[in-house]
Structure 1
Amino acid sequence: MHIRKWLMAYMLLYAFTTSAQQQESANDTLHTPLIPVNRQSLLNNVDVIANMRFAFRNDFENGTYTGSRFVNEQFRLEIKGKVADKLYFRFRDRYTRDPVTQSIDNLSRSTDLAFIRFDPNEKWKIYAGKLCADWGGYEFDANPIDIYEYSDIIEYSDNFLTGAGLGFLPDKNNEFTFQILNSRTKTFKELYDSIPGISESKFPFAAVINWRSNMFEGKFSTIWSYSIFKEATHQYMNYIALGNQLSLNRFRLQYDFKLSLENLDRKGLVSSFTPDKKAVQGVKYMSHWLSADIQLSRIVHLALTGMVDFAYWDGNPDPNKDKKLRTAWGYIPGIEVYPLKHVNLKVYANMIGRVYRYTNYAQTTLGMVNNDNYRFSVGIVTPLLIL
C-alpha cells in the first residue's frame, strides 16, 4: 500500500511541477520547480502505463441466466524506463488483487513486477527482483489485459516470483534466458500444511530456461521453455511450454502446448477434487491452447480462442482409480474494434465459455459434477500510455 501511495504522490507532484513550469515561463518569475530542470530530462525515458480492461458482463450457469454487472476486470499500473546508462527498471502493481504481503519474498501479492535490469552490452541482459517467470507460450507472454480467460495451467500457477535472470541475444532472431527464482511466494506450511513422509526444502527454487526465435522473416516464431521447481525435499515439478506463432499479412495463428508433471499438486486443482482438499501427490496437467486473429480492416478484427485442459491423478492410491479426472474446454469467439489510429485501445464483444467434464470415476467416487458456464461481455481494453 505504501508503494501505491508513493505512486499517486509522484504523479501529483509531476502534474504540479509541470503546471508550475508553465506559469513560470508565462510570468518570467524566478521560482524554482520542485523537480530540478536538470533532472526533468529523466522523464523522457520513463513510461507510465495504465493497463485496463473494463467490461459489462452477462453470466450464465448451466444455461441459466445468473445476472449482469459492470466489472473492472483488470487494472495494472506500470512504470518502467531507463534511469542511467545501461540500467533499467520496471514496476507493475495489480489493483484488482488483494495487497497481501507474502511470507517468502516480503512483497505484496498484488505486485507483479519490481525489478532492475542491467545491459552490459547489446547481447547480454541481467535481471534481479520480482520477475515474471519466463515460461514459454504465447498465452502467458501476452499482456494479461488481452487474455479474457486463461487455461487451467496458467490460471492456477504462481506466475510472478522473486529471483534473478540472465538473457543472451546471439543475433536479432534468437534470445535465450535463464532464471533462478523462489519456487513460490508462500511457505511450504502455508501451501501444503503437512504431508506424511515429506519435509520442507531449505531452498525451494525454480530454474527456467527459455528460447525465443523468429524465422522466415518473422512469419514464424517460437517461445519454448523448460522449468523445474523444487517444492520440497526430493519433490519436484517439471514444466514444459511450447509456443508457436504464424503471422501473415492479415492473419495470426498461435498454438501453445503445456505439460506440468508435479510430485506435489502445486496447482491445487486435483487436490480440490478430493474429499479432504489436502495436497495430493503424483499429478499431471496438460493443455492445448489455440488463438486466431483475422484482420478484416485496420479497425475491425475477428478473434477466436479455444483451449482444452486435462487433469490426471497418477498417484491416486485407489486400486480402482481412473488416472484422468477432468477435461475442461474453453472457447472465446469475438469481435474487436480499434477506433483510434494512434492510441492502442480496442472495444470488444465476445462470448467466454467453459465446459467441464469429469470421468465416471471422478463423478461416482469423488462426487464431482459436470458443469457448463459462459458469459457475454462488452468492454474496452487499453494499455493507456499516460506519460
Structure 2
Amino acid sequence: MDRIANRRYTNFFLGRGASYVHFYLIVGALFIAQTSAQAQHSQNTSDSLSNASLIQKSKIDFLENINMSLDLRMSFRTYTLRGGDNDYQGRQFENGFTALGISAKIHEKVHVNFRSRFNKTSEVQSLDQLGNNIELANITIQATPRLQVQLGRQSAYFGGYEYSFKAMEVLRYNDIQSNALAYVTGIGTTFNASQEHSVGFQILNSRTVLYSEKYGEDTAPDVREPDWPVELVGNWRGSFFDGKIQTRYSLSFAQEVKDKWISFITLGHKYENNKLKLMYDFDYSSEEIDTKGLATNIIGGEFIAQEVTYVENWLRAEYKFNPKFTGLLTLMTNTTYGKNIASVSSGRDRLRTSYGWIPTLYYRPFKDIDIRLFVAYIGRYFEYSPLAIRDLGVGSYNENEIRFGFIAPLRIL
C-alpha cells in the first residue's frame, strides 16, 4: 500500500468506481420513491394523518444506525525542488483526499465498515481481489462484551499517532508511513481489558498483489515466493491520568518472500489537555527484504535491496488558540541504513537522513460544522551520507511547498 493518492480520476468514474456511484444513486432513488409513496398514501387515506411523519418509525430507527461521511481535502500548491539531479518548480490545484465512508449497525452485535477513496486507483489487486481504492471493507462482531473480531480488509493495528490519522488530516507522512501497506485483508481481534487498556492481534496478508507482480525478475537468486505472504501484528493501547497521557505501541512481523522477515516496532505517546495535544512516535523497521523501496532506490543495482533498516522520529503539536484558530507543528526524521554497503564487513552503513517540518494554521469559520481553512508550509531536506554521495552517485536535495486549502470531514447521514 502506498498512502500517496494515485490521481487517476477518469479510471474511477469510467471503470469500477462507476458501479459504486450507480449503487448509491439507486439506493437513494429507491428510498425517495418509497417515502414519497408513503406520503401520498397518507394524504389519500385521511385528513387526520396530514401531520404524520413521512418516514415510518422503523425506518427512522434503521437510519439512526447508519453513518455516512464524505471527507474532502483540496488545496492550491506552490512548490520547488532544489539539489541533486533535480531543479523544478510548479503550481497547481489538487484534490489531495476525497473519500466516502459508510458504517452501519446491521445487528445487535455486528457492524459493517466501508470506505472508498476516489483519488486512488480502482485496479483490482490480484491477491485479495479488491480495488486499491477500497481502504475498508469489513465486519466487526462483538463476540463478548470485551472481545471484538474484525473480518475483511482493515487497517493494520500499527501503533503510533501518525498512523492513527486519516490521510485527509496529514499533509505529508514520514517515510515509513508513506510507503507502508496500511489496508490489507485478514482477521483481527481486540480485547478491552479495562476502560484504560486494550490489546489487539491480527493475522493479515502481507501484500495485496501476487509475488510475480510485485517482485517479478527484480530479485536475487535466494529470494523465492513463500507459501503464505503473512503478517502478524500485536498492539497495546493505554490511557493514564484520566486520559491526559496515552500510549499506542505495536510489534509486527511480516513475510513477503520465503524465509525473509520484516520486523516493525512503533512506540506512540500522547499528552493532551484542554488546549494542547502533543504526540511523539518512534518507529524501527528491520527488513531482510526492502519492502519500503527507499534503500533500493538509493543503492540502485539489479536487485531489490536486502538487510536494510529504517529508524524514524515523528512529533506533532496542536495548540487551540480559540474556537476558530488552531496551530499545528509537525517535525520528523528518517534514517535509512544498508548492510555492508561500504565493504563486505562494514556492518550497518548510513545511506540517507531526511528531515521534515510542517507548520500549519487552521481557521474554522463555522461553529456547527467542521470545515477548516488552512495555510501550511512543508519543508523536507534529504541529506545523503558521504558514502552514498561518493559510491552511489546521489546528491542531497530539499523540497519546499506552500499550501492553501480546506479540510472538510462532512457527515452526510
Q: What displacement does 1:82 show?
A: 0.3
Could you tell me which residue of structure 2 aligns to residue 333 of structure 1? 359
**Which amino acid in 2 is paired with 1:324?**
R
Tell me the secondary structure at the aligned position of residue 284 of structure 2. strand
Could you tell me which residue of structure 2 aligns to residue 232 of structure 1? 257
Choose from 92, 95, 100 the match for 2:118: 95
Could you tell me which residue of structure 2 aligns to residue 5 of structure 1? 22
User: In 2, are the aligned partners of 1:192 and 1:278 still within 8 Å (CA)?
Assistant: no
Partners of 2:32 and 2:95 lie apart in 1 by 26
**Which amino acid in 1 is paired with 2:79?**
D
Partners of 2:150 and 2:277 lie apart in 1 by 31
Structure 1 residues 1-387: aligned runs within 5 Å: 1=16, 2-18=19-35, 21=38, 25=42, 38-39=58-59, 41-62=61-82, 66-193=89-216, 194-276=219-301, 278-316=303-341, 318-319=343-344, 323-387=349-413
Tell me the secondary structure at the aligned position of residue 5 of structure 1. helix
Q: Deviations over 1:71-95 (max 9, x none)?
A: 1000111000101111001000111
**Which amino acid in 2 is paired with 1:62?**
R
Q: What displacement does 1:298 show?
A: 1.2
User: In 1, are the aligned partners of 2:342 and 2:387 still within 8 Å (CA)?
Assistant: no
Describe the shift of the 1:318–1:187 C-alpha distance in structure 2 as closer, same or farther (beyond 3 A).
farther
Tell me the secondary structure at the aligned position of residue 168 of structure 2. helix
Describe the shift of the 1:276–1:129 C-alpha distance in structure 2 as closer, same or farther (beyond 3 A).
same
Describe the shift of the 1:273–1:39 C-alpha distance in structure 2 as closer, same or farther (beyond 3 A).
same
Tell me the secondary structure at the aligned position of residue 291 of structure 2. coil
**Which amino acid in 1 is paired with 2:22?**
K
User: In 2, are the aligned partners of 1:284 and 1:311 still within 8 Å (CA)?
Assistant: yes
Describe the shift of the 1:314–1:386 C-alpha distance in structure 2 as closer, same or farther (beyond 3 A).
same
Partners of 2:338 and 2:36 lie apart in 1 by 62
Describe the shift of the 1:37–1:338 C-alpha distance in structure 2 as closer, same or farther (beyond 3 A).
same
Aligned length: 383
Partners of 2:342 and 2:134 lie apart in 1 by 39
Describe the shift of the 1:195–1:26 C-alpha distance in structure 2 as closer, same or farther (beyond 3 A).
farther
Partners of 2:81 and 2:43 lie apart in 1 by 61
- Identity level (%): 30
**TM value normalised by structure 2:** 0.87
Partners of 2:31 and 2:401 lie apart in 1 by 41
**Which amino acid in 2 is paired with 1:186?**
V
Describe the shift of the 1:75–1:386 C-alpha distance in structure 2 as closer, same or farther (beyond 3 A).
same
Tell me the secondary structure at the aligned position of residue 189 of structure 1. helix
Q: What displacement does 1:70 show?
A: 1.1
Tell me the secondary structure at the aligned position of residue 62 of structure 1. strand
Q: What displacement does 1:342 show?
A: 2.2
Describe the shift of the 1:269–1:19 C-alpha distance in structure 2 as closer, same or farther (beyond 3 A).
farther
Q: What displacement does 1:158 show?
A: 0.9
Q: What displacement does 1:13 show?
A: 3.7
User: In 1, are the aligned partners of 2:205 and 2:229 still within 8 Å (CA)?
Assistant: yes
Q: What displacement does 1:142 show?
A: 1.2
Q: What displacement does 1:167 show?
A: 0.7
* Pairwise CA RMSD: 2.2
Q: What displacement does 1:365 show?
A: 1.6
Q: What displacement does 1:27 show?
A: 6.0
Partners of 1:14 and 1:218 lie apart in 2 by 42
Q: What displacement does 1:105 show?
A: 0.2
Partners of 2:381 and 2:36 lie apart in 1 by 54
Unaligned runs of 5+ in 1: none
My pick for the range that moved more, 21-30 or 207-216, is 21-30
Q: Deviations over 1:99-144 (max 9, x none)?
A: 1111110100111000000002321101000010010000001122
Tell me the secondary structure at the aligned position of residue 153 of structure 1. helix
Tell me the secondary structure at the aligned position of residue 80 of structure 1. strand
Q: What displacement does 1:259 show?
A: 0.6
User: In 1, are the aligned partners of 2:342 and 2:349 still within 8 Å (CA)?
Assistant: no
Partners of 1:230 and 1:316 lie apart in 2 by 24
Q: Deviations over 1:221-265 (max 9, x none)?
A: 011100000122211000001110000121110000001000000
Partners of 1:16 and 1:247 lie apart in 2 by 48
